[in-house]
Amino acid sequence: MNKAFTREPDPDGREHCPRCGSVGTAVSKTTLDWHVHEQSRSGLGDSASFCDFARCDVVYFDQFDRTVTVNELQSSVYPKDPAAPICACFGFSLEDVEADVEQGTPVRIRELLEKSKSSDARCLTLAADGRCCVREVQRLYMKGTADRGY
Ligand SMILES: [Zn+2]
């Protein structure tokens, strides 16, 4: 049976998006309260998972297959909207990553790394998956430089 249509969680307890089958990232009440529009918030409990597959409309889902889609959010989030900031705390975007790739030195990313350690970082609340964006930013930079053959 197609993995996308089974509702067996992974052995480590992770849930799959009921729409696209991607493995979700568990998010907390804090994250959901911030991102989900008031009218839709009651449709989910206090624990849900984030689907990080860019082309999937489902943003949050729970183990009962209840979902919150992109148009039920307070504002658009990366990667559902590639123009939304990757780092919601400091407004770091895909353009910033590309500018660093262009330059061949991760100047902006290093600055972001510094800021991410400060108390101004509010990833748990502001990030759609409740996690720090640094890993994703570094992944994008490395992918960008590899694509250019650096
Ligand atoms: Zn999905």
DSSP string for 23-75 = BPEEE-HHHHHHHB-HHHHTTS-S-EEE---TT-SEEEE-TT--EEEGGGBSS
CA of 48 to the centre of ligand 1 (A): 13
CA of 59 to the centre of ligand 1 (A): 7
**Which is nearest to 120 in space by CA: 150, 95, 92?**
92
Answer whether residue 130 shows pLDDT above 90.
yes
CA distance 33 to 126: 10
Cβ proximity of 78 and 128 under 8 Å? yes
Mean pLDDT of the chain: 92
Question: Is residue 4 over pLDDT 90?
Answer: no
Cβ–Cβ contacts within 10 Å for residue 30, how many? 14
Domains and CATH numbers, the chain: 3-72 (2.20.25.270), 94-148 (no CATH)
| pLDDT score for 12 | 65
pLDDT category of residue 57 using cuts at 50, 70 and 90: very high
CA of 20 to the centre of ligand 1 (A): 4
Once rounded to an integer, what is the mean pLDDT over residues 12-31?
92
